[in-house]
Structure 1
Amino acid sequence: MEGNFGPAEQLLWPLSVFSGVLMCKVVYQVTHKVSMLYLKGYNNLTKLEKIEWNSRGVSTFHAVIVAAASLYLLVFSDLFKNGSKSELVVNRKSLLSDATLGISLGYFLSDLAKILWHFPSLGGKEFVLHHGLSMHSIFLSLISGKAHIYILMVLFSEATTPFVNFRWYLEKSGKKGSNLYIHNGMALFFGWLVARIFLFIYMFLHMYLHFDQVKTIFPLGLYSLLTIGPAMALLNLFWFLKILKGMVKTLSRRRHVQ
């Protein structure tokens, strides 16, 4: 594996990973204090439910940050545009993409530790698998400087996380039958379809069309890209079917009530 350990990276990587861990700690505490002061139902939750409530505040904040950074790098910047740079698209990176991957690595590390500490209350085996695969992929991409474009595509799919968390918040607040719950569920369904189904299809198509470049990635990175990508896609499909089933059930129940 080719090195990617310039002076800037040697400072940026540990700083960004530490920032990701620190972000988790700060947002967790802020979520706890704000919820305790301004949300009446929060104090009625069990200790474990409060931990999950605060943790979902952290995951929402992380999702917004990395999805926004990924969108900028993939769509609005010139980093990955055709003809904008002489490097192969799989070799392109920037300080911002490095920082985004580092912060996300710090988040997944913190969240995985929390999941394992409270296992399986905050997430089952599928969440451990998701976080483990994510950390492996991000770490390899970060230290090698390879395939940032594909890691950022996957990180953009975190844009669906706020809708998942908001649905959980509404359930715990006793608003499962509200119009807001229905509308959030619809947004989650279509958001998941775009960001975690169609985007992954586009990513696989992009890899196929640029496979002459993809195959230049060092062996472990290449095999990880070719196996972890489909594994994540299958997880997304598994969760999508559960979302679809839940949405159909909710809409059917609501129709019978009316």
Structure 2
Amino acid sequence: MATKSYKYQAQELVRKYVLADPVVPYTSVLGGIFMCKMAYDLTRLISPFYYKGYASLTKIQRIEWNNRGMSSTHAIFITIMSVYLVFFSDLFSDHLEGLVTFRRSNLSTVTLGVSVGYFITDLAMIFWLYPSLGGKEYVLHHLLSVSALAYAMLSGEGQLYTYMVLISETTTPGINVRWFLDTAGMKRSSAYLVNGIMMFFAWLVARICLFIYLFHHIYLHYDQIKQMHTFGYLLTFLVPSALFVMNMMWFAKILRGLRKTLSKRQ
């Protein structure tokens, strides 16, 4: 009986406070920051067991190693949630009435909050160790991401397009694995080559083709988008466009790197 009583009290606490509409964004952001802390610490704890050379890395290399474990955790989480919300849930389905640009739910808001928490944490680390964890392009990418995510989370506008952009995070684990292999001295291994090929196709699908589909969707639903507030309207066009340009620049680097790797193996 005591166990059931505590379980009921916990459920009521979650329902009344944690999932109460005014509190959802802030609790989810804190949850995202907490998730980042756990992922960072867990990466730091388990890495020495799987890579014996971890202890011999420099301090900044160990920090980046743990940071990439954190970013991979966020990428896996946000990719799964984004794919579900965009393609499998009914939230943004054409079968429902109402403007698709104004649809939201507690689940979609919580998920955005977790992602905001991650980008805030990662941006803080970038500033703290600048430019070791990333240069100006990373700062610009994260600032654009935080602005768009926070606005969609707090206003409920444009969450569909926000999640379409977030699906591009599916490429992040591949990028991190490539860095891990390079740092571990496995740049000439078959794993490094396979990772490069998979990263090329993942980037092409998630950061090029998907963005083209996003722009097409924006074109088809422009009559709904123009009903958004001015800031949301501008973000809908500015953020995907800026990220698409950056994606094309990074894609060119990936292509050159893959060609260089393949030429060395011939």
Q: TM-score range by the shorter chain?
A: over 0.9
Letter of the aligned partner of 1:108 in structure 2? F
1:193-247 residue CA offsets vs partner (Å, 9 max, x unmatched) = 0000000000000000000001111001101221121001001111111101100
Structure of greater Rg: 2
Q: Map 1:93-104 to 2 at 5 A.
A: 93-104=104-115
**1:132 and 2:143 matched:** yes
**1:140 offset after TM fit, Å?**
0.9
More moved, 34-43 vs 167-176: 34-43
Which SS does the other structure have where 2:97 is aligned? coil
1:3 paired residue number: none
| Residues 1:68 and 1:139: Cα distance change in structure 2 (over 3 Å) | same
Percent identity for Structure 1 against Structure 2: 48
Rounded Cα–Cα distance in structure 2 between residues aligned with 1:176 and 1:93: 44
1:56 counterpart (68, 75, 80): 68
Structure 1 portions without partners, runs of 5+: 1-6
Kindly report structure 1 stretches of 4+ aligned residues shifted beyond 2 Å: none
Which SS does the other structure have where 1:10 is aligned? coil
2:247 counterpart (236, 239, 254): 236
**1:9 offset after TM fit, Å?**
2.4
**1:82 and 2:82 matched:** no
Rounded Cα–Cα distance in structure 2 between residues aligned with 1:253 and 1:39: 26
Which SS does the other structure have where 2:131 is aligned? coil
Q: Map 1:218-233 to 2 at 5 A.
A: 218-233=229-244
Q: What count of residue pairs does the alignment treat as equivalent?
A: 248
Structure 2 portions without partners, runs of 5+: 1-18
Letter of the aligned partner of 2:52 in structure 1? K
- Give TM-score, length-normalised by structure 1: 0.94
RMSD: 0.9
- Give TM-score, length-normalised by structure 2: 0.92
1:26-84 residue CA offsets vs partner (Å, 9 max, x unmatched) = 1101100101233201111000000000000000000000000001111111111112x
**1:44 and 2:56 matched:** yes
Quick one: higher RCO (CA 8 Å, sep 6+), 1 or 2?
1
**1:114 and 2:125 matched:** yes
Which SS does the other structure have where 1:175 is aligned? coil
1:190 paired residue number: 201
1:137-184 residue CA offsets vs partner (Å, 9 max, x unmatched) = 011111110110000011111000000000000001111111111111
Rounded Cα–Cα distance in structure 2 between residues aligned with 1:9 and 1:155: 23
Letter of the aligned partner of 2:262 in structure 1? L
Which SS does the other structure have where 2:32 is aligned? helix
